[in-house]
């Protein structure tokens, strides 16, 4: 049974790393390069389309594996209050991240909002910050769990 848990954990970590790392790459390298390189609407549209597809896959994997891993950990009787608090914060952060991804994926809504709202302009960077926070909370949860229970 530990093999299944290990594979689920691996899929969860890889999906998070791909999404957060991809967001970092997109915000820090791709977007500035496209802006400084002059108009390249076809390339920018293709990059956005491919990134959106990747995010959809990552969100699906994270939801399925996250539910599995949460139930696995919650069945452990030795979890402390701090673990539960951090887990709740991670889940809330992840749900906010999924909501932002859904919002950013609605291209027609975002195109209209981009002209009128500051939130639409800040949302991609907010998603990156939230992703890093959720990733960090996950690492903290693993550390706490191992301190309380030994490697699992």
> How high is the pLDDT of residue 91?
95
What's this model's pTM, rounded to 2 decimal places?
0.81
- Give 124-143 pLDDT, tens digit per residue: 889 899 999 999 999 999 89
pLDDT tens-digit readout, 15-45: 999 999 989 988 888 888 887 877 677 787 7
- Domain residue limits, the chain: 2-149
Those residues whose C-beta lies under 8 Å from the C-beta of residue 152, and which sit 6 or more positions away, are 5, 76, 145, 146
């Amino acid at each position: 049974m530990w093999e299944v848990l290990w594979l689920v954990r691996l899929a969860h970590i890889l999906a998070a790393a791909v999404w957060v790392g991809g967001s970092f790459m997109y915000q820090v390298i791709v977007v500035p390069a496209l802006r400084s390189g002059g108009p390249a609407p076809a390339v920018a549209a293709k990059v956005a389309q491919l990134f959106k597809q990747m995010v959809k896959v990552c969100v699906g994997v994270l939801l399925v594996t996250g539910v599995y891993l949460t139930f696995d950990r919650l069945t452990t009787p030795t979890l402390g209050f701090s673990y539960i608090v951090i887990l709740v914060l991670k889940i809330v952060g992840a749900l906010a991240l999924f909501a932002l991804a859904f919002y950013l994926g609605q291209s027609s809504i975002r195109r209209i909002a981009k002209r009128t709202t500051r939130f639409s302009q800040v949302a991609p960077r907010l998603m990156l910050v939230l992703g890093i926070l959720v990733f960090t909370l996950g690492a903290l949860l693993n550390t706490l769990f191992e301190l309380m229970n030994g490697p699992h």
